[in-house]
Amino acid sequence: MLVSDKDGKVINKRIILKIIPANEEKSMVGVRGIIIHQTGGATVESAFNSYKTGGSGAHFLIDKDGTIYKTASVTKQAWHVGKLRSRCLAEMTCTATELRLLKKFDPTGTHRREMGKNVPNRYPSNQDSIGIEMVGQALPLSEPDPDKRTYETLTKEQGESLKWIIQGLRTSRKVPLTEIFRHPTVSYKNKTEARTASW
Amino acid sequence: MVRLMLILSALTIFGCSPGGNEAINNEKMSIHRFGIESIKIVHNGDFSGRISSDESIGTCKSFILSESDVLIFFATARSATLREYEHDLNASNCYASGTFVSKTGISGEWKIDRSRRGFLHNQSDEPEYFYCGECQNPLFYEPCDIDCINAE
């Protein structure tokens, strides 16, 4: 069971608290989902450095040995999702009007329309989801085009830690299984990111 | 061809981008960025299928770049980190790619996608990644620089 203090800092001896202020944005309205990522870097330090620059980041970071770092409060947004894909298109539940609008592929317009809906009618976004990143590169590095690389398989330890933390968050934050996604499902990304993650 | 030569000359003489002073202020002054002598387009309006996106082969057929479009892109774009390129920025299945020759005779390959990402690479060096939020070409999707990841 994961318990949070009044600032949303998860308290559990299995989790190393390493809050990076630059990684915390404004308050989260509520947790409606969980998005699973891979960092693209080889080490946990490279992810910390990226978080410190104020670019993208996540709430939890899992090293290859399974160590779990808490890098942002779960009451704060972290920028980890990006523009949303159409959920109704993936689940074949779009209205005729939506289908007509989706005929012209327009990521910005799609995102704007999606954000006018609530989960579960859209995918969870930065506003209402927890991000979990696993340290892992897309390979081979000799391939200059990152789109042609394949993200490496999660280690056994990462897989176990991921399942443990998701179970804890599902219980403490009441996130249903149906609202847990890999990053490429919800946004426009390399299809192989987090493909070996399971929960 | 005359138009292409004029663009090349302008970029060489002024060492700046059609997008303004961004390139001049950029700390990472890429040798490729200011040293492209010529480019050749090998793939245009192609579909990669490697990105999780609802684009189709048909969507990508209209993404046809000219040689001058490519030169303007690399003259205008800002440098991006590998993490930005492969994780943070929106990606697209629609792309154009080809080869380039630098003013110093180095040859390599380039790629630009419809989400305004691009890279330059030659065998003896690390790839350089770019993002062009300033590019005015209507063939690109609307720009989404850092807001690609902080989208609300």
Element containing residue B9 per DSSP (H, E): helix B2-14
- ipTM for the complex shown: 0.91
The answer to whether B90 faces chain A, any CB pair under 8 Å, is yes
> Position A140: which residue type?
P
B89 has a pLDDT exceeding 80: yes
Separation between Cα atoms, residue B135 and residue B146, nearest integer Å: 16
| Residue B22 pLDDT grade (very low, low, confident, very high; cuts 50, 70, 90) | very low
What does the pLDDT read at residue B144? Answer: 75
Chain B CB contacts of A189 below 8 Å: 51-52, 87, 91
What is the pLDDT of chain B when averaged over all its residues? 80
Model confidence pLDDT, tens digit, residues B104-142: 888 999 999 999 999 999 888 889 999 999 999 999 998
In a domain, A118, yes or no: no
Give domain status of residue A140, yes or no: yes
How far is the C-alpha of A185 from the C-alpha of A91, rounded, in Å? 11
Sorting pLDDT into bands at 50, 70 and 90, what band is B62? very high
Nearest residue to A63 via CA among A148, A136, A13? A136
Average of per-residue pLDDT across A174-185: 97
Instruction: Scan for tokens 């630098």, then name that residue.
Output: B102
State the nearest Cα–Cα gap between A178 and chain B, in angstroms. 19
| Residue A178 backbone phi and psi in degrees, to 5 | -70, -10
Q: Is residue A147, in this structure, part of any structural domain at all? A: yes
pLDDT at A60: 97
Rounded CA-CA distance B32/A12 in Å is 50
Answer yes or no: is pLDDT of A97 > 90. Answer: yes
Domain total in chain A: 1
More confident residue, B8 or A142: A142
Q: Give which of B42, B51, B61, B86 to mutate to test A binding, by max A Cβ within 10 Å.
A: B86
**Considering only CB atoms, which chain B residues are within 8 Å of A108?**
141-142, 144
Q: What is the CATH number of the domain that holds A138?
A: 3.40.80.10
B141 touches chain A (CB under 8 A): yes
- Kindly report the pTM of this predicted structure: 0.87
Q: What is the percent of chain A with per-residue pLDDT over 70, rounded to a whole number?
A: 94
Position B44, amino acid: N
Q: Which residues of A fall within a CB distance of 8 Å from B87? A: 37, 39-40, 56, 189, 193
A197 in a structural domain = no
Question: How does pLDDT run across A33-65, given as a tens digit for each residue?
Answer: 999 999 999 999 999 999 998 778 999 999 999
- Which segment of A143-147, B74-78, B95-99 scores lowest on mean pLDDT? B74-78
Chain A's closest residue to B47, CA to CA, is A147
- Binned at pLDDT 50, 70 and 90, residue B97 comes out as very high
Q: Which of the 8 DSSP states describes residue A155?
A: P
Distance between CA atoms of A37 and A192, rounded to whole angstroms?
Answer: 10
CB-CB contact of B74 with B34 (8 Å): no
Q: Tell me the shortest Cα–Cα distance from B91 to chain A, in angstroms.
A: 5
Amino acid identity of residue A62, one-letter, is: I
Contact B90 A187 (CB under 8 A): yes
Which residues of B fall within a CB distance of 8 Å from A111?
151
Contact assignment for A84 to B152 by CB distance below 8 Å = no
Nearest CA in chain B to A116: B152
Quick one: pLDDT at residue A54? 78
Percent of chain B with pLDDT over 70: 72
Encoded amino acid at A77, one letter: Q
Query: What's the CA gap between B100 and A52, in Å, rounded?
Result: 36
Distance between CA atoms of residues A96 and A103, nearest Å: 11
Q: Which of A40, A145, A185 sits opposite B87 (nearest CB)?
A: A40
In a domain, residue A108? The reply is no
The pLDDT value given to residue B33: 54
Question: Least CA distance to A150: which residue of chain B?
Answer: B50
Token code pair at residue A114: 């999606």
Query: pLDDT of A128-166, one tens digit each?
Result: 999 999 999 999 999 999 999 999 999 999 999 999 999
Q: Which range marks the domain in which residue A144 is found?
A: 3-84+123-186
pLDDT at A120: 98
Classify each residue of A161-171 as buried b or exposed e, where b means 16 or more C-beta atoms within 10 Å of its C-beta. bbebbbebbbe
Query: How does DSSP assign B36-80, residue by residue?
Result: EEEEEEEEEEEE---B-SS--HHHHTT----HHHHHHHHHHPEEE
Residue A56: its pLDDT value, please? 87
Which residues of B are less than 8 Å from A144 in CB distance? 109, 119, 121, 127
Q: Distance between CA B62 and CA B46 in Å, rounded?
A: 9
Residue at A97 is within a domain: no
Cα distances (Å, whole numbers) of residue A169 to A131, A151, A187: 11, 25, 22
Pairing of β A129-134 and β A33-38 = parallel
Find the residue in A nearest to B86 (Cα): A146
- What is the pLDDT at residue B32? 56
The amino acid present at A134, given as its one-letter code, is M
Nearest CB partner across the interface for A147, out of B51, B81, B151: B51
Domain boundaries, chain B: 2-148
Angle at A170 between CA A165 and CA A174, to 5 degrees: 150
Shortest CA gap A167–chain B (Å): 26
Measured between beta carbons, which residues in chain B are less than 8 angstroms from residue A56?
83, 87-88, 149
Structure tokens at A156: 């056994």
CA B107-B109-B113 angle, to 5 degrees, is 155
Nearest to A87 by CA among A108, A129, A115, A58: A115
